[in-house]
Amino acid sequence: MKKFYEVLIVTIIFLLVCFVYRGQQRISLHEGKAWDGIFYYQMVVQIQQGASPIVGDLPFIKRLGTPLLIAYYSKFTGLNILDSALHINLLGTWLTVVLLLFWLNVFIKDFRIRVLLCFLFMMVWFVLGRYSFYCPLASDAWGAPWFVGGLLLIEAMRKSNEIKRHTAFTGYAIAFSLVVAFGNFFRESNAALCLLPFFIFNPLKNLNISSSTTRIYHGINFLKKTWALFFTRRTVLLFIPVIFVLLTNAFIKKSIVINDPNAYSYLLAVVGWVYTKSVPEYVLGICIAFGPLILLVPFFYKQYKSLLWEREELLVLLILSLLLGFIGGSDTERIVFMSGFPVILLLIGISIRSIFNSPQRWWLYILLVLQTISFRFFWNLPDFTEEKLHTPVPFFGLMSNRFPILNLYSHFGDYKVNTILLLEYAVLFIATWYVLYNKVVLKSGALK
């Protein structure tokens, strides 16, 4: 019953968030379809008309799942496509919140912190719930529940392996494969989950790098241990998700026709962003994505270091999310958040717990206030316009409802605005270092 009440509480909070922000004006660009939405809209129309295969442009045409849900929901309810997309995406967001609550429970037992993290997840302005009121046609909201569901099943696989329950391990491996396969219909990035089960046996522990372990025979010894670890009957199951994703991709390929296959290349896009995205832009994108609370994470490394080392799949997911944030596209905030929000929110939660139990709790309250500004608690998103509007001086965000919407993003924003924001985060980082290092370490020892 305890879990039921916890789900009830986060559901009530979710409904309150929806109630408060239901007045968010829908973007007027392309009649509410916005940027990527025009491609998803075309897919929904084709599905409703019974077209087969579906014709569209890369990379959107590969994300069949959400347009399929929207098309059938719209047909069943009689609602227009945009209103149907809003309902579908809000449902997907709620499912993600509930699954995130369960996943965080594995690591954080304090319900207050878990609720706070789920609330922060709901309040993000550039994806999922709140963003769905502004721009309903997006695919992230239904990529997320499959993503978190996969992480829950990976944890179940780990536990069943630790207690030698081989039948349960097999069942969880198959269930995980299905979840990844279905998630691949909604977001192709979900396929990256296939890599994580290979790390539940912690193979990186065999790699002890130091000045005394850099000889050739140490490398050979590592390869031998890794070979012995993976090439068993049990670990053959880890390849099932890979096979399922390949089958899913084959099915998608047969179900679609790409307008111009040469117009978009995943590889060329990655290479392009490696050369064009700057480090300051990337760092600012991460700060915007997670707000001032992300600045706590580096200072509490000792609190979660053992967790990442004992669960190497989380470490790999963290690295993948940071990498994808850099090479995955222009929307650094959205990409880095959606590819790693469970593990990064977990690290933020551990950091919050650590500072909350220290004498410097007051600094946490300051960061939380700044977080409300960064996540735009008090402002809606402005409509897109080509008018040259005045942009207010930023203070961990833009405290207004009237300015060019693209100035909220690290890649598209005005360079002067972004420079000020980056400097503000740099000053806040130094202030956090001063408060925690000089007070917590020297007086309370909370970081030791």
Q: Cis (ω within 30 of 0) for the bond into 53? A: yes
Helices 140-162 and 65-77, packing angle to 10 deg: 120
Radius of gyration of the chain (CA): 23
What is the token pair recorded at 303?
Answer: 């609190």
54-56/256-258 β-pairing: parallel
Of residues 165 and 289, more confidently modeled:
289
Cα 44 to Cα 65, 80, 93, 190, 254: the distances in Å are: 10, 11, 20, 21, 18
Q: Mean pLDDT, to the nearest integer, of 245-254? A: 95
Region 248-264: mean pLDDT is: 92
Q: State the pLDDT at residue 443.
A: 45
d(CA 401, CA 370): 18
pLDDT tens-digit profile of 375-418? 999 999 999 988 888 889 999 999 999 899 999 999 998 999 99
How many angstroms separate the CA atoms of 66 and 43, rounded?
Answer: 10
AA letter at 16: L
CA dist., res. 444 & res. 436, Å (int): 10
Q: Is the pLDDT of residue 167 over 90?
A: no
Whole-number pLDDT of residue 390? 84
Contacts of 122 (CB under 8 A, 6+ apart): 13, 14, 17, 93, 97, 128, 129, 130
Residue 135, domain member (yes or no): no
- Using alpha carbons, select from 344, 398, 393, 396 the residue that is nearest to residue 366: 396
What local confidence, expressed as pLDDT, does residue 201 receive?
83
Mean pLDDT for the chain overall: 91
The SS3 call for residue 403 is coil
In a domain? residue 129: no
User: Which pLDDT band, with edges at 50, 70 and 90, does 2 fall under?
Assistant: confident
Q: What type of residue sits at position 402?
A: R
Domain that holds residue 302: 265-448
Determine contact, residues 403/381, Cβ cutoff 8 Å: no
Q: What is the pLDDT of residues 185-213, one digit of tens each?
A: 999 999 999 999 989 988 777 665 554 54
Determine what percent of the chain is predicted with pLDDT higher than 70: 91
- Token duo for residue 344: 């990064």
pLDDT at 424: 98
CA 182 to chain centre: 17
Q: Mark out the alpha helices in 49-194 (DSSP H runs).
A: 65-77, 81-105, 111-123, 128-134, 140-162, 166-186
Q: Give residue 184's identity as a one-letter amino acid code.
A: N
Query: Does the pTM of the predicted model rise above 0.85?
Result: yes
- Whether the per-residue pLDDT at 154 is higher than 90: the answer is yes
> What is residue 230's three-state secondary structure?
helix
- Asked if the structure places residue 306 within a domain, the reply is yes
User: Per the structure, how many domains does the chain have?
Assistant: 1
Please confirm whether the linkage preceding 197 is cis (ω < 30° from 0).
no
Query: In whole angstroms, what is the distance from residue 97 CA to residue 1 CA?
Result: 18
Looking at the domain assignment, is residue 308 inside a domain?
A: yes
Half-sphere exposure of 277 (CA within 13 A, CB side): 26
Contact in structure between 184 and 142 (CB atoms under 8 Å): no
**How many angstroms separate the CA atoms of 152 and 440, rounded?**
34
The structure tokens 């670890």 sit at 229
What is the distance between the alpha carbons of residues 240 and 224, in angstroms, rounded to a whole number?
Answer: 23
377 is a domain residue: yes
Q: Is residue 112 part of a domain?
A: no
Span 313-339, average pLDDT: 95
Asked if residue 277 is part of any domain, the answer here is: yes
> CA 174 to CA 184: how far, in whole Å?
15
Query: Do you know the residue count of the chain?
Result: 448
Burial 311-350 (b: 16+ CB within 10 A, else e): bbbbbbbbebbeebbbebbbbbbbbbbbbbbbbbbbbbbb
**Amino acid identity, position 117:** L
In a domain, 440, yes or no: yes
Q: Is 78 exposed, middle or buried (0-12, 13-18, 19+ CB in 10 A)?
A: exposed
Question: What distance in Å separates the CA atoms of residue 239 and residue 177, rounded to the nearest whole number?
Answer: 9
Backbone φ, ψ for residue 79 (5° rounding): -75, 155
Q: Which residues contact 6 (CB under 8 A, 6 or more apart)?
A: 101, 111, 114, 115
Terminal C-alpha separation, the chain? 37
